[in-house]
């Protein structure tokens, strides 16, 4: 009997030791996986930044293999490499766990960068074909800024391997600036014409609560101790405002962005930072960001020293 108890005790100790070792191995594997994922994300960002600097070629559906610095933005024909100021947002457009990198030019053209099977792909949009990008990859578009005679809509970016597709969610054909219920607007959802009331129900349930992506300045060179992103943060702290804040009054909504107006140079090693408000018209049941802003205006400016971070009035 005593021998049997002793054998059982030894067996239980062995099982306990095996369990502890297994847990340790699982913990080590998890730690290694987390470290690998972090390293992978860092490498991905470095790849995107290398492409923006022109060191890594990208493949464009229309232009083939190019240096991104040679790409010309359609709104003003300015080369990306000639732009003093660019903006970025990093987000997972298609929800696959891998981030994409979206560049915005001063005139609101966009380039989406995607890394697939070790290659960087670029997809370009002018300011009318994509604006007010949301964090889930949905966005608004318009074929004309004449809102009394245009078609505008709401679509989503769909990534399939190296290919990018646009899924149209809705579009509105307008023959007047506002729809007062007199039949001057025609509504389509998933390509099918529907009534104004049906569109209102669809919009309230599917579109109203999207979160807009907030862009921040790109600073890849790190030529100064204070980066452009840090300069915007210092200006934001000074004003007590944050990019993405909103305010409204009498049929209008205002969106605040803290932006870089001028980059530092050898002559003036300082950033000029602006507090920029974008005004949007509100509608009976339409998103306040479903149309381009009616105007964009810089209300306040600050100078941030690129060497020390000192903030002062211009």
Supply the pLDDT for residue 260. 94
Supply the pLDDT for residue 1. 42
Supply the pLDDT for residue 238. 96
Q: How far apart are the C-alpha atoms of 224 and 205, rounded to whole Å? A: 47
Q: How far apart are the C-alpha atoms of 284 and 5, rounded to whole Å? A: 81
Going by C-alpha positions, the residue among 309, 220, 222, 244 that lies closest to residue 273 is 309
DSSP letters, 104-135, are E-TTS-EEEEEEETTEEEEEEE-TTTSBS-BT
Supply the pLDDT for residue 285. 60
CB 48 within 8 A of CB 101: yes
Q: Where are the beta strands (DSSP E) in the chain?
A: 58-60, 64-66, 87-91, 100-104, 110-116, 119-125, 138-142, 150-160, 163-174, 185-189, 192-194, 216-217, 246-249, 252-262, 270-281, 295-305, 311-312
Q: How far apart are the C-alpha atoms of 299 and 288, rounded to whole Å? A: 21
Neighbouring-strand partners of residue 91? 100
Q: How far apart are the C-alpha atoms of 33 and 46, rounded to whole Å? A: 20
104-138 per-residue burial string, b: 16 or more CB within 10 A, e: under 16: bbbebbbbbbbbeeeebbbbbbbbbbbbbbbebbb
pLDDT per residue as tens, the chain (314 positions): 434 434 444 444 333 433 434 343 433 333 333 333 334 578 888 999 999 999 999 999 888 999 999 999 999 999 999 988 899 999 999 888 889 999 999 899 999 999 998 899 999 999 999 999 999 999 999 999 888 899 999 999 999 989 999 999 999 999 988 787 778 899 999 999 999 999 989 988 877 778 889 999 988 767 899 999 999 999 999 999 999 888 877 678 889 999 999 999 888 899 999 999 998 877 656 677 888 888 889 999 999 999 999 999 99
Rg of the chain's alpha carbons, rounded to an integer? 26
Going by C-alpha positions, the residue among 143, 145, 149, 155 that lies closest to residue 188 is 155
| pTM of the model as a whole | 0.81
Q: How far apart are the C-alpha atoms of 212 and 240, rounded to whole Å? A: 21
For 142, the 3-state DSSP assignment is strand
Q: What is the DSSP letter of 81?
A: G
Supply the pLDDT for residue 231. 95
Q: From edge to edge, which strands make up the β-sheet containing 192-194?
A: 138-142, 150-160, 163-174, 185-189, 192-194
Calculate the alpha carbon distances from 90 to 84, 101, 164, 217 in Å.
20, 5, 17, 12
| Degrees to nearest 5, angle at CA 106 with 139 and 75 | 75
For 92, the 3-state DSSP assignment is coil
């Amino acid at each position: 009997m005593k021998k049997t108890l002793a054998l059982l005790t030894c067996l239980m100790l062995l099982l306990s030791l095996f369990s502890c070792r297994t847990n340790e191995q699982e913990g080590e594997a998890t730690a290694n996986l987390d470290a690998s994922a972090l390293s992978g994300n860092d490498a991905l960002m470095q790849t995107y930044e290398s492409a923006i600097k022109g060191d890594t070629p990208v493949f464009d559906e229309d232009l083939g293999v190019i240096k991104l610095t040679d790409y010309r933005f359609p709104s003003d024909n300015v080369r990306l490499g000639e732009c003093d100021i660019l903006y970025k947002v990093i987000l997972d457009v298609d929800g696959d766990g891998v981030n994409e990198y979206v560049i915005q030019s001063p005139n609101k053209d966009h380039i989406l960068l995607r890394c697939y099977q070790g290659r960087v792909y670029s997809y370009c949009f002018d300011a009318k074909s994509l604006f007010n990008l949301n964090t889930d990859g949905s966005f608004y578009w318009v074929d004309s800024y004449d809102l009394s005679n245009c078609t505008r809509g709401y679509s989503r970016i769909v990534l399939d391997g190296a290919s990018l597709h646009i899924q149209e969610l809705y579009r509105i054909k307008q023959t007047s600036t506002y729809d007062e219920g007199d039949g001057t607007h025609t509504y389509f959802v998933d390509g099918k014409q529907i009534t104004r009331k049906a569109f209102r129900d669809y919009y309230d349930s599917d579109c109203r609560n999207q979160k807009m992506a907030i862009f921040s300045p790109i600073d890849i060179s790190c030529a100064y101790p204070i980066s452009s992103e840090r300069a915007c943060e210092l200006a934001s702290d000074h004003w007590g405002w944050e990019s993405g804040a909103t305010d409204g009054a009498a049929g209008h909504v205002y969106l605040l962005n803290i932006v870089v107006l001028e980059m530092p140079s050898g002559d003036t090693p300082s950033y000029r930072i602006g507090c920029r408000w974008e005004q949007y018209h509100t509608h009976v049941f339409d998103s306040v960001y479903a149309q381009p802003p009616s105007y964009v205006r810089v209300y306040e400016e600050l100078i941030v020293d690129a060497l020390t971070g000192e903030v002062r009035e211009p």
